[in-house]
A and B are shown apart, each in its own frame.
With several copies, the nearest count.
Chain A
Amino acid sequence: MDLVLTEEQEMLKKMASDFLTDKFPKTVVKEIEETESGYSPEIWKEMAELGWMGLVFPEEYGGVDMSFLDLAMLLEEMGRACLPGPYFSTVMLGGLPILDAGSDKQKQEYLPGIASGKTIFTLALTEASARYDAAGVEAKATADMDGYILNGTKLFVPDAHIADYMLCVARTSDEAKPEDGITIFIVDAKSPGISCSLLKTIANDKLCEVVFDQVKVPKENILGEPDKGWAEVKKIVERAAAAKCCDMVGCLQEALDMTVAYAKERKQYDQPIGGFQVIQHYCVDMFTDVEGARLSAYQAAWMISEGLPCTQEVAIAKAWASFASPRVMALAHQIHGAIGCTIDHDLQYYTRRASADGVTFGDANFYREVVAREMGL
């Protein structure tokens, strides 16, 4: 066992932190949040030049061939910086699934665009049920002569309004088990029949409602095997959940750091409030929660990175991050006092994002059930 980051990982984190701190002061985050697109194409380009979009992709596709764990470290810094934009969608929900399950042709077609920052991807999975289980997939794809016709409504699709492509999960045949008969399609987001509207969300994170109305998709756009797509979807969700945990670690760590700093600086009753034992213990409780999130997230990310089965470890990490984050943020607010409850204070960025992150790719209850099943209950 060894919990030390490699020198490269430290460097990557440092570089990312410097870049993000420089490019994304909260004034910029706020501006971007308020635009419709939700990202800055200029900085996006710079991120691509730093190799971030291609971080985990092989060199042959224009990537820099680093590991999932390295990516996780980068995501942590992005969480810390409240990075707005389609990075997670593109790399985690688009690129990695294609690298995973795509044909050589698909990889050659899509990965270089992703790695170079030219192509924005996303995943259209959840629907009205808002659940991450197979039964929630009701969108239908019916075989047509030269392909499929897609119909259905996807909800909470991140960044769909700016995506060039979507992975769309649809039902291609009706089987007894909801896990069967599901297929993943790579869909050109500009295909006729797709309409997309932004949902207003707590994190201002550009989730969309995407309606597929008689959308034609060519047969060669199936990702992986037809009817057997659920296994890959599970993998996508598992990996995304682990990645989201790293993101959350950055978010919660920053909230903790801000809070501890404020406790040292804010004076009441002639002393820093951090001198009061109750405030100290609040900080320790936050810190303990954040450390639990960190250790479990790193464990999950490391296991994915190593290609080890880790359904339980991911479930533990995401459940922990999801139930710990509201209590961490509640204490952050309690210590910050009224000032932390204003829109102009940086804390609220973390409060809103932590709330969104907690439910994205499965909340604590969802993963408790996963753990129960893994335990044989």
Chain B
Amino acid sequence: MNFKFTDEQVKFRQEVRDFLEGEIKQGLWQPTCDAWIMAHDPEFTRRVSAKGWIGLTWPKEYGGQGRSFIDRLILTEEMLRYGAPAACHWFADRQIGGAIVHYGTDEQKEEILPIIMKGEAYVGLGMSEPDAGSDLASLKTRATEDGDDFIIDGQKTWTSGGSNMNWIYLVARTDPEAPKARGISEFFFRTDLPGVSVSPIVDITGGVHFNEVFFDNVRIPKTCLIGEKNRGFYQILNQLDFERSGMERLMANYPLFEALIQYVKETKRNGKPLAEDPVVRSKIAQLKIELEVGRLYMYRVGVIMDEGRAPNWESSMSKAYGTAFEQRLATAAIEIAGLYGQLSPASRLTPMRGMAYHSYLSSKGYSLQAGSSEVLKNIIAGRKLELSAK
């Protein structure tokens, strides 16, 4: 057993921190919550790419760095801690690259991985549909074979990527006759094709990072298929475990936590800093305890991946816990701020740069995206505790 990071890992973390602090000092961006999904900054992504930090864990033969998943978690954790605007490369780096490394053809690896590593693939995840959310297997978007092509028809929703999206990862039905889960395949292609139209969804904070995407007779070559035809659902299950392990599930509003700590130290009530109010102290210490335990759930997933195993219930636990934690953090922050907690980021008097307000609203979605907490608990109950209905 060993709970320490290696010297190299400590050094790497420092390197990432130095880089990000330098960026902030130069005023290139301001830390925000949910920056991983909301803050699109192609320039930042290019600079991250230049550091070699996209595709960190991919094999060197494909141009990756061949580094460990713990290294990648360290990178992720610092990106989130500093609220860095990483949304442009996030999904390509976290999800698509891995899928291609795992299931892609040699051609796909040669063609697509470099685009991702250069930070040029702003990827939307085209999974959910209006009637297929938690129940992904019931999706209706069709991919029909036609010679060397597939023809795509249908609609996706909650497709990430905002207005920058130029590539889409798509899950579609390739065999309508097969049992639900057995007729699904994965695709990856550019969105500037005829027949693709995108309509942004404005979220509860006013932000735009999800889209509805419509496919009307969209023709894509068969080379866009990832992995095996009709095996997509099973490939995805794997990728979802991976997606769920993302550090963003615990730390998307880490900048809020830091701001909250500063706020209670600096804000006086009845002449004393809020930090001396025992109820506030106790609440913040409790959050700290929960955050640190959350990091353990999280790093455990990294450890498992570095052992070459696929994370399973461990990533479901990590995600369900992490999103619940973030909601508790946001709720605590807005409560501690009292009337000031109601002020929007646009207000001059807003404490914590409006992040309490923002996170209180945006964290509602955390426990829904990428596996609702209920689905995750079902998974843990079934896969690990072996509890099932008769």
Contact = CB atoms under 8 A, between A and B. Distances in A.
In the complex they form, whether A and B have CB atoms below 8 Å apart is answered with: yes
Interface of A: 1-6, 9, 69, 126, 129-131, 135, 155-156, 199-203, 207, 209, 260, 263-264, 267-272, 274-281, 283-285, 287-288, 291-292, 295-296, 298-299, 302-303, 306, 308, 312-313, 315-316, 319-320, 326, 329-330, 333-334, 337-338, 340-344, 348, 351-352, 355-356, 359-360, 363-365, 367-369, 371-372, 375-377
A275 B389 contact: yes
A1 B361 contact: no
A45 to B, nearest CB: 29
A308 B3 CA distance: 11
Contacts, number: 246
7 contacts: A2-B2, A202-B342, A269-B138, A292-B321, A308-B4, A337-B372, A372-B281
A264 B386 CA distance: 9
Given A274-B388, A320-B293, A201 B203 contact: no
Interface of B: 1-5, 70, 128, 131-135, 138, 157-158, 201-204, 206, 210, 261, 264-265, 269-270, 275, 279, 281-282, 284-286, 288-289, 292-293, 296-297, 299-300, 302-303, 317, 320-321, 327, 331, 334-335, 338-344, 346-347, 349, 357, 360-362, 364-365, 367-369, 372-374, 377-378, 380-382, 384-390
Contacts of B5: 1
A23 B369 CA distance: 35
Contacts of B134: 268-269, 337
Given A264-B387, A283-B385, A302 B1 contact: yes
Nearest to A299: B3
B235 to A, nearest CB: 21
Among A1, A129, A207, A308, the most chain B Cβ lie within 10 Å of the Cβ of A1
B303 A202 contact: no
Contacts of A283: 381, 385, 387
Nearest to A344: B202
A276 B380 CA distance: 14
A368 B279 CA distance: 11
Contacts of A264: 386-387
A287 B384 contact: yes
User: What is the predominant secondary structure among interface residues of chain A facing chain B?
Assistant: helix
A270 B134 CA distance: 12
Nearest to B286: A368
Contact of A377 (B128, B281, B385): B281
Contacts of A263: 387
A1 B339 contact: no
A246 B13 CA distance: 30
A279 B387 contact: yes
Given A2-B1, A287-B380, A377-B264, A276 B289 contact: no
A355 B357 CA distance: 10
Given A9-B1, A200-B344, 5 more contacts: A3-B1, A292-B293, A337-B134, A338-B210, A368-B289
A129 to B, nearest CB: 7
B204 A351 contact: yes
Among B1, B210, B382, the most chain A Cβ lie within 10 Å of the Cβ of B1
